[in-house]
Amino acid sequence: MFVHLIEERPNPSTDYFVRPALPADGRPIQCHQFGQPLPDPTDLIGATVVLVRYVPPAWARLIERHRARLGELIYFMDDDLFDLAAAKGTPWRYRLKLARLATWRQHWLQRHKARLWVSTPYLQAKYAHWNPERLLPAPLPAPDSAVGGNIRVFYHGSASHQAEIDWLYPVMQTALDAEPRLSFEIIGTAKVNRRYRRLPRTTVVHPMSWPTYQCFLATPGRHIGLAPLLDNPFNRARSCTKFFDITRAGAIGIYAAGSVCDELIQSNQDGLLIPMIAERWVDAILGLAQRS
């Protein structure tokens, strides 16, 4: 028998409240995010289904068809999602989302005999007629030191490096999927954020002034610096100042072979010179991570 955990995307509500409250009885927990394929109905037999904040339509239809097969149905909320007046002042798109996925589902949840989990005494008192259970938050476990801790990779290219920013996306996507200790930091505008926020453990930092950047760069915690440089007429005139940024951060650098960096860097001594082949950069990042 499974525990099916349904959430829009990974979020603090799940990690701080719901996961610690799930039964520690050895049952496998399957996480389902919006848009992912639904489980086979046979996996619902005797299962617990936990809806975190929202009731997506696809899951509502599945539960309606197979409610008799389920064990428990649980709904968790950590805001007053059943009362649209509580959301007054928030953007209308957000209020419409709450209405569709939460507020208008209140009677549906009661009809299907869902248990109610809440996060605060206020919600527990307001919905006392439902006999809700209040969950207490729990801290996330500390990172396991046995796996070497976090390894931060960074690329601090400006807007003039949009081609390199685009080129790096599949490189970092593959590296982050392959090595859970990796995190990634990139500087960019809203356009960069819209793309890179899809990657796990990735931080997009807003561009800043040079003095502010110098202070930012001196903050410890960066391990692998990237300096890709595609071969085009504009880049042929560039200097290799990224070398100084990366060394100032106390990191090991991966630089584009065949670029101006060749004149400044001795590979395997001052950093790594790697041809601009995506697979080679993934291998270089993962190789440095394994040494950490």
Q: What is the pLDDT of residues 141-174, one digit of tens each?
A: 654 443 457 899 999 988 778 889 999 999 999 9
| Alpha carbons 53 and 245: distance in angstroms, whole number | 43
Model pLDDT, residue 227: 92
Instruction: Give the pLDDT band of residue 237 (cuts 50, 70, 90).
Output: low
Q: How many residues does the chain have?
A: 292
Q: Does domain 145-291 have CATH number 3.40.50.2000?
A: yes
Q: Give the SS3 label for residue 92.
A: helix
The answer to whether residue 2 scores a pLDDT higher than 80 is: yes
The answer to whether residue 187 scores a pLDDT higher than 90 is: yes
Model pLDDT, residue 269: 76
Residue with the larger pLDDT of the pair 233 and 61 = 61
Model pLDDT, residue 45: 94
Q: What would the pLDDT profile of 248-259 be if each residue is shown by its tens digit?
A: 899 999 999 988
| Alpha carbons 278 and 167: distance in angstroms, whole number | 8
Model pLDDT, residue 268: 75
Per-residue pLDDT, averaged over 68-76, amounts to: 96
Model pLDDT, residue 141: 64
Per-residue pLDDT, averaged over 88-103, amounts to: 91
pTM of the model: 0.62
| Alpha carbons 263 and 281: distance in angstroms, whole number | 20
Q: What would the pLDDT profile of 19-52 be if each residue is shown by its tens digit?
A: 999 977 778 999 999 999 999 999 999 999 999 9
Model pLDDT, residue 142: 52
What are residue 64's DSSP bridge partners? none
| Alpha carbons 246 and 226: distance in angstroms, whole number | 8
List the end-to-end C-alpha distance of the chain, in Å, as a whole number.
40
| Alpha carbons 264 and 230: distance in angstroms, whole number | 17
| Alpha carbons 202 and 265: distance in angstroms, whole number | 28
| Alpha carbons 103 and 36: distance in angstroms, whole number | 23
| Alpha carbons 189 and 151: distance in angstroms, whole number | 24
- Show me where the domains of the chain are located: 3-134, 145-291
Model pLDDT, residue 148: 53
